Amino acid sequence: MIRLPPYGEALGIEPIRDEHSRLVLKLPFGNHVSGRPGFLHGGAIAGLLEIAGIMSLYDQLGEDDRPQVKPITVTTDFMRNGFPKMTYAAGIITRSGRRMANVESFAWQDDESKPIAASRMNLLLVRK
Tell me the pairing of strands 23-27 and 87-96.
antiparallel
pLDDT in tens, 62-77: 877 788 999 999 999 9
pLDDT in tens, 108-122: 999 999 999 999 999
In this predicted structure, what is the pLDDT of residue 57?
A: 94
Residue 99 lies in a domain: yes
Per-residue pLDDT reduced to its tens digit, 15-60: 999 988 999 999 999 888 888 898 999 899 999 999 999 999 999 9
Does some domain include residue 115? yes
Q: Is residue 31 part of a domain?
A: yes
User: What average pLDDT is seen over the chain?
Assistant: 93
**Domain containing 49: what range?**
6-126
CATH code for position 22: 3.10.129.10
If one counts the domains in the chain, the total is 1
Segment 10-19 long-range contacts (CB within 8 Å, at least 24 positions apart): 11/44, 11/47, 11/48, 13/48, 13/51, 15/55, 18/90
Residue 1 lies in a domain: no
Please state the rounded mean pLDDT for residues 5-18: 92
- Residues 79-100 have a mean pLDDT of 96
